Chain A
Amino acid sequence: MKEKLFRTDTKALVGSVIIGIVFLIMSQVTGRIDDLLDPTLLLLNGTCWAFFTGLIALMYKQPAGIIAGLVEAIVAMATAYSPLAFFFLFANTIGSLTYSLIARNFSMQKLSHHIIAQIGCNVTGNLCVTLGLIYIVHLDWKIALITSALTAVVGIVVASILDKAVYGALQKSALL
């Protein structure tokens, strides 16, 4: 079964906001743990981002994925959650759209489907963050690219596994 790209019913719209808030809170939780472990790579935070971007796009399609991403990015900007918060606007929007555009071609029943969708999402999303690392944090572009690539690799692997498991559990739960 191929995935649809759009859903604009009230359930999807409200879901995008509510799950967008869950996304935001979990980003804060993982961000705090990252700060304690390693404030430079943000591996947990990056994985959390990739996981939610994928999950929301699967649950409620578009534009819900974009709306949830905007909720997360706007609150991150207004609370100085990260120096790169402004670039989250683009990372979340482009990452979510890319995920949906790839996911619509697959049944999303296999882990490989999730990995392919996450590759698109992580590459585009992390490219936006790379721009932030260059323009805001003033990192050398090579270093910015390496750190983003590392975050993306971890994000692709872990978020794909988590997305498959959690989305599967949600389908079994009959809550969707």
Chain B
Amino acid sequence: MQTVVEINIEKLIFPNAEKPALKNINFTIEQGDFILITGGVASGKSVLLHTITGAIPHFHEANLTGKVTIMGQDIGQVRLNKMSDYVGYMMQEPQNQIISLDVYEDVAFGLGNLGISLGQIDESVKKALEFVGLTGYETRQTASLSGGEAQRVVLAGVLALNAPILVLDQPTAELDPLGRHELYRRLGHLNKVQNLTIVLVMDRIQEVISYANRVLYLQGGEIVRKYSPKQYYEELLLKKGRLNFPAVYNLANSKPAQCVAKVAGVSYQYSSGFRGCDDINLEIYRGDFISIIGLNGSGKSTLAKLIIGLLKPSKGEIEVFNRPLHKDNLTEVRIRMGFLFQNPDYQIFAGTLEEEVGFSLKLRGEQAEIIDQKVDECLTFVGLLEYKKMHPQRLSRGQRQLLALASILVSDPDFIIADEPTSGLDENQGYMVMGKLAELVHSGKTIMLISHDLAMVKDYSNRIVAMHNHHIQLDIAAQDLTQYLEKLKSIGLDFQELSLLSEVKDGTC
């Protein structure tokens, strides 16, 4: 097999950084490889990718000791806008990679930059769109695409350039299970049938591992383990066995308990005419660890926003802590609630981590000593105490997610709504965060989790609510999950996929 990328990095350090972001990285990528790179927060996964795409040193300033070559060429000598001859690059947010207003123009964007003829462009665009299953979408406005469709348009734009290596940085972080499965299947096809070399960075890789041939685990900027997919799974299962929190199937017991939130006949329609929720009836009890699942656009986030009073129902009524949600009592109700947005960057604004975590307490007029104490406690819990004085924007995506969680926990809320709290975290950290949420449930708090991570949902919830087409399709005790697998599969939520884990374990994959 031909070596396509050779990476020898002694040290890579960013300006004003104390520690190197990468060190002692030595490996080669062979043609036809499907490499998964994983690791914890701030492990250097994305930085490593940037050394392959040429973004380091051409786009992000960094001091690199060592050499990275691609198809025999020193990356330092290849201009960034010529890298498209060698690599195609996809990242987490499809909306940041779509440049044009309609699908055709966007897929043609890179081809147009190459200055090739219109005829050739047309042929390549059509071929790429056909491959990603979007034939007929040519004139669609890119703003109207769903998350999964947008990511497929990005993939088409990258594939149209015909680069021999495809580099992807968390491309499925914003996709629902169906969207993720679709993308992995296409990547697998490209790798097996077209011999495309794929390097994929993911936090949690269990869904895609069956397509890969190598797994690299990074920690503190170093490759600490190189696995075969089978070895990785065996180790993951061991860890999971240790970390897994026993799920508390307490739906039956919790019913007589205090009702924390009651949603009665609630519908919501956005001013654009888009239906958010339709005739939702839901009661959440104290001590519930309720998971809301569903495909993108099914109404999960709308429901969460309705419960916290960010949206006012078009029809129906919502009670939280036995009080009808009303403009006048919103501030009071919110003091007892915490809402963790999927994107931590929506809330981080302060100059230091401690200032950020202490913000809500400051707004409530808490004393400085109490704020300091609580901030330290929360930062210790999420493992960020050592960065207390650092600018939050210097943290990695996963660390910012943990910071946002700390900012919520600091107020000691009775009812927490968490929208994808484990995004950006690896398996270990994901389970650590979920473990903490489960602990909170045991101490009498209530958690409403919105998640696409069916494994986490299955392991930690006591109730699972599945939404489909803006309705609640199922509201079941987690212990009864096995009875509903087919029904869930029919709405795009395939818990049976999780059995892949045991297949790998058995060596059948």
Binding site for B on A (CB under 8 A): 11, 169, 172-175
Contact = CB atoms under 8 A, between A and B. Distances in A.
A11 B351 CA distance: 24
**Most chain A Cβ neighbours within 10 Å, of B16, B17, B391:** B391
Question: Do most interface residues of chain B lie in helix, strand or loop, or is the interface mixed?
Answer: loop
A121 B220 CA distance: 46
Nearest to A18: B96
A169 B59 contact: no
18 contacts: A11-B59, A169-B351, A169-B391, A172-B351, A172-B391, A172-B394, A173-B391, A173-B392, A173-B393, A173-B394, A174-B14, A174-B15, A174-B16, A174-B17, A174-B391, A174-B393, A174-B394, A175-B393
A119 to B, nearest CB: 27
A172 B387 CA distance: 14
Interface of B: 14-17, 59, 351, 391-394
A11 B55 CA distance: 12
Given A173-B392, A174-B15, 16 more contacts: A11-B59, A169-B351, A169-B391, A172-B351, A172-B391, A172-B394, A173-B391, A173-B393, A173-B394, A174-B14, A174-B16, A174-B17, A174-B391, A174-B393, A174-B394, A175-B393
Contacts of B17: 174
A173 B14 CA distance: 12
Contacts of A173: 391-394
A69 B306 CA distance: 38
A11 B59 CA distance: 8
A104 B448 CA distance: 53
**Most chain B Cβ neighbours within 10 Å, of A11, A169, A173:** A173
A110 to B, nearest CB: 19
Nearest to A169: B351
A153 B47 CA distance: 45
Contacts of B392: 173
A175 B394 CA distance: 8
A143 B394 CA distance: 48
**Most chain A Cβ neighbours within 10 Å, of B16, B59, B392, B393:** B393
Closest 6 CB pairs of A and B: A173-B393, A172-B391, A173-B391, A174-B394, A169-B351, A175-B393
Contacts of A175: 393
A175 B16 CA distance: 12
Nearest to A173: B393
Nearest to A14: B99
A169 B350 CA distance: 9
B231 to A, nearest CB: 36
Contacts of A174: 14-17, 391, 393-394
A61 to B, nearest CB: 16
Contacts of A172: 351, 391, 394
Contacts of A11: 59
A70 B16 CA distance: 34
A169 to B, nearest CB: 6
Nearest to A11: B59
Nearest to B99: A14
A175 B351 CA distance: 13
A172 B393 CA distance: 8
A175 B397 CA distance: 13
Nearest to B390: A172
Nearest to B393: A173
A172 B391 CA distance: 7
B343 to A, nearest CB: 16
Nearest to A170: B393
Contacts of A169: 351, 391
A132 to B, nearest CB: 32
Nearest to B80: A10
Contacts of B393: 173-175
B50 to A, nearest CB: 14
A152 B15 CA distance: 37
**Most chain B Cβ neighbours within 10 Å, of A169, A174, A175:** A174
A41 B394 CA distance: 39
Contacts of B16: 174
B99 to A, nearest CB: 9
A175 B15 CA distance: 12
A60 B138 CA distance: 35
A173 B17 CA distance: 11
A175 B59 CA distance: 12
A172 B14 CA distance: 13
Contacts of B14: 174
A174 B393 CA distance: 7
A169 B393 CA distance: 9
B273 to A, nearest CB: 22
Contacts of B351: 169, 172
B109 to A, nearest CB: 13
Contacts of B59: 11
Contacts of B15: 174
A174 B391 CA distance: 9
A173 B392 CA distance: 7
A88 to B, nearest CB: 25
Nearest to B350: A169
A123 to B, nearest CB: 31
A169 B394 CA distance: 11
A140 B370 CA distance: 57
